[in-house]
Structure 1
Amino acid sequence: MKTFIIVLLVCFGLIALTVVTLPIFTSKETCTYEEAAGKFAKGKFVSLDGKKVHYIEKGNGEPVILIHGFLYHTVMWKKNLDALAEHFKIYVIDLFGWGFSERLNETEYSFERYAKQVTGFMDALNIQKASLIGQSMGGGISVYVAAINPERINRLILVDPAVVPYPETITGRIYQLPFVGEFLNAIPGDGLVKNNLKTLWLYDGSKVTDDYVSEVTQPLCIEGSYAGLMHILRNVLKPPFVENEAQMLAKLNKPILIVHGKEDKAVPLENSQYLNKLWPSSTLVLFENAGHTPQEEYPEKFNKLAMDFLSR
């Protein structure tokens, strides 16, 4: 009870501070989409429903599409792209609202909308069928696509996937309170993001260098980034996630590899264990001493595992 009261007091304090001080902060959204994409984007662009999607394409062979999770963009897969491209045709995409793909109106973001982005991307590049590799929210999107369009998907690799509901951290609940997230997002610098990456995403916090944080947060300078981020956090990454689609997938007998960092503090290991039981054709592989992004912390191990699975 005492802890709960303290948390409430902190929340009310943050809300009051937000109302008083928010106007004095300068927005961190300092560039237009066109400016940022023209200056920083390293890949190609394709137009879907009048909106640009940024992607990186490399390699030859069977097509594999890599889908990042919340907060990230194509940079998430920089340690995996080259190795996988030695055997497959790799497409790494930026989801709408992230990286150097265009921003939507904040209420447009949903698992359904992202699934349509993936299949629309496949149609635009004439990809009839592909395997998907998705991390966290990208894992949930991959499940949605495979359940709704099973004829388009070969195999799935899901990395610490956000598919079924899980308990939120106290920090996460506070961040989503009215005005609080907006206040924290307006604080100058990347200290908040850096701390989250250290405590929630990677097991080894020493890997979260200033350069790493800069790479992850660079596209957040684009107007509309933070509004989309908050909407997704408050309205998309919520129950039931894609639990219904996960049940549908259980009947399709798709080959599925689930990779989970044993020390993940964002999505509990129990979630992947549940999915492993739900999907008879799935395999669960645990990475010791790894957090929410094991493909980054142990890229050589992940790349070999992924290549072996996709080659079967």
Structure 2
Amino acid sequence: MKTIAKILGGFIALIVILLLIICERDRPVEELIPLYANKDSKFMPIMGMKVHYRDEGVATDTLPLILLHGMSSSLNTWDSVVISLKAHKRVISLDLPGFALTGPSPEMAYNFPYYSKFIDSFATRLKIKRFILAGNSLGGAISWNYALHNPSRLAKMILIDAAGYPKKGESGSLGFKLASTPVINNLLLYATPKALVRKSLETVYYDPASVTDEQVERFHDVAIREGNREAALMIFKGSFKGNPESIKEVKTPTLILWGDKDNLIGVNNVDNFLKDIKGSKAEIYKNVGHVPMEEVPGKVAASILKFVQ
């Protein structure tokens, strides 16, 4: 027993030492704003947060497009798509609560009802009566749940590699696997190595070589923004409780866009959405991973424009 106790004690001591070596402090948002906000950035006080967003394009457009990013991402995921869309549409991108410069929700409520309430409040503050919602990954799941919450306000919807159905053997990313592993995931509150961020991004893209040092730096910085790691941990521990059966109740005209090499949410999900959302349409991009709006932004912008016009 003493030998086992010594081994266990040594293992715990090793973990403590490793944590002391690699642990990172949270970064105040004041440090990050000069790095990741630009001339189009605005900060809206809403629901106890200062929400980072950009409102670009055709100001007179009465049916604007609101873009929602995925897990551990930011509005920057849409940058290249916005460049193509803003000549034709009013385009609004934002950092969702719990992520990037917006940071954690004071309510610490990361679930579909909370995000539906948030979208309603956000649109109301911008005096938008009806809009088109586009979402990638987790943002896609938030979108179709909003379509159930307030269908009269939603004119159309675009789901891009959207979450919603149970996974069926996808390989996933290393970071997401660690963040979903009990006990180990608690360590990510203190240590978020850039090497892990890079490895996770490389599994998100079809071509790992397309991941840049600049992207790794940005994803790492916004991940350790004050409060964001706690928010991510709550989400990975299962704060979102979706009901795939309810997707059949969606009546909003829907376009489904997908990368055929998505390792996180497989392309087989396209058939599920097409079957459950009556009248929906789909486009599949060849040799593209989980984030088509970053990998083939021109094609995604063209698909969206064709659908919304």
TM-score interval, smaller chain: 0.7 to 0.9
The Cα of 1:19 is off from its aligned counterpart by 4.5
Q: Give the match's secondary structure for 1:269.
A: coil
Q: 2-side partners of 1:289 and 1:207: how far apart?
A: 13
Q: Give the match's secondary structure for 1:128.
A: coil
Match of 1:300 in 2: 298
Distance 1:276 1:227, change over 3 A: same
Q: 1-side partners of 2:124 and 2:106: how far apart?
A: 23
**Aligned residue pairs: how many?**
292
Distance 1:277 1:68, change over 3 A: same
Q: 2-side partners of 1:229 and 1:263: how far apart?
A: 25
The Cα of 1:232 is off from its aligned counterpart by 0.8
Match of 2:197 in 1: 193
Match of 1:72 in 2: 73
The correspondence of residues 227-266 of structure 1 with structure 2, limited to 5 A, is: 227-236=230-239, 241-249=242-250, 252=251, 254-266=252-264
Q: 2-side partners of 1:205 and 1:104: how far apart?
A: 32
Query: Identity of aligned pairs, percent?
Result: 28
Note if contact 2:70-2:140 (Cα within 8 Å) is conserved in structure 1.
yes
Match of 1:136 in 2: 137
The one-letter code of the counterpart of 1:282 is S
Note if contact 2:77-2:294 (Cα within 8 Å) is conserved in structure 1.
yes
Q: 1-side partners of 2:12 and 2:233: how far apart?
A: 19
| TM-score using structure 2 length | 0.86
Match of 1:87 in 2: 88
Alignment of 1:206 with 2:215, yes or no, is no
Alignment of 1:220 with 2:216, yes or no, is no
The Cα of 1:174 is off from its aligned counterpart by 4.7
Note if contact 1:259-1:285 (Cα within 8 Å) is conserved in structure 2.
yes
Distance 1:296 1:173, change over 3 A: closer
Q: Which moved more, 1:20-29 or 1:291-300?
A: 20-29
Q: Give the match's secondary structure for 1:235.
A: coil
The Cα of 1:269 is off from its aligned counterpart by 1.4
Q: 2-side partners of 1:197 and 1:153: how far apart?
A: 32
Alignment of 1:21 with 2:24, yes or no, is no
Distance 1:194 1:17, change over 3 A: farther
Match of 1:3 in 2: none
Q: 2-side partners of 1:67 and 1:17: how far apart?
A: 42
Note if contact 2:25-2:190 (Cα within 8 Å) is conserved in structure 1.
no
The one-letter code of the counterpart of 2:17 is T
Note if contact 1:22-1:186 (Cα within 8 Å) is conserved in structure 2.
no
Match of 1:177 in 2: 181
Note if contact 1:18-1:179 (Cα within 8 Å) is conserved in structure 2.
no
Which of 44, 47, 61 aligns to 1:46? It is 44
Q: Give the match's secondary structure for 2:65.
A: strand
The Cα of 1:224 is off from its aligned counterpart by 1.4
Q: Give the match's secondary structure for 1:258.
A: strand
Note if contact 1:29-1:225 (Cα within 8 Å) is conserved in structure 2.
no
The one-letter code of the counterpart of 1:206 is A
Unaligned runs of 5+ in 2: 1-7
The Cα of 1:50 is off from its aligned counterpart by 2.3
The Cα of 1:169 is off from its aligned counterpart by 4.5
Q: Give the match's secondary structure for 1:268.
A: coil
Q: 2-side partners of 1:17 and 1:138: how far apart?
A: 40
Q: Which moved more, 1:172-181 or 1:261-270?
A: 172-181
Note if contact 2:192-2:224 (Cα within 8 Å) is conserved in structure 1.
no
Q: Give the match's secondary structure for 2:104.
A: coil
The one-letter code of the counterpart of 2:81 is N
Match of 2:4 in 1: none
The Cα of 1:108 is off from its aligned counterpart by 1.4
The Cα of 1:221 is off from its aligned counterpart by 3.1
Which of 43, 56, 59 aligns to 1:58? It is 56
Q: 1-side partners of 2:83 and 2:112: how far apart?
A: 28
Note if contact 2:19-2:191 (Cα within 8 Å) is conserved in structure 1.
no
The Cα of 1:177 is off from its aligned counterpart by 2.5
Distance 1:173 1:17, change over 3 A: farther
Alignment of 1:110 with 2:114, yes or no, is no
Note if contact 1:75-1:215 (Cα within 8 Å) is conserved in structure 2.
no
The Cα of 1:175 is off from its aligned counterpart by 3.8
Note if contact 1:29-1:224 (Cα within 8 Å) is conserved in structure 2.
no
Distance 1:89 1:248, change over 3 A: same
Match of 1:147 in 2: 148
The Cα of 1:187 is off from its aligned counterpart by 4.2
Q: 2-side partners of 1:284 and 1:205: how far apart?
A: 26
Match of 1:9 in 2: none
Q: Give the match's secondary structure for 1:163.
A: coil
Match of 1:37 in 2: 33
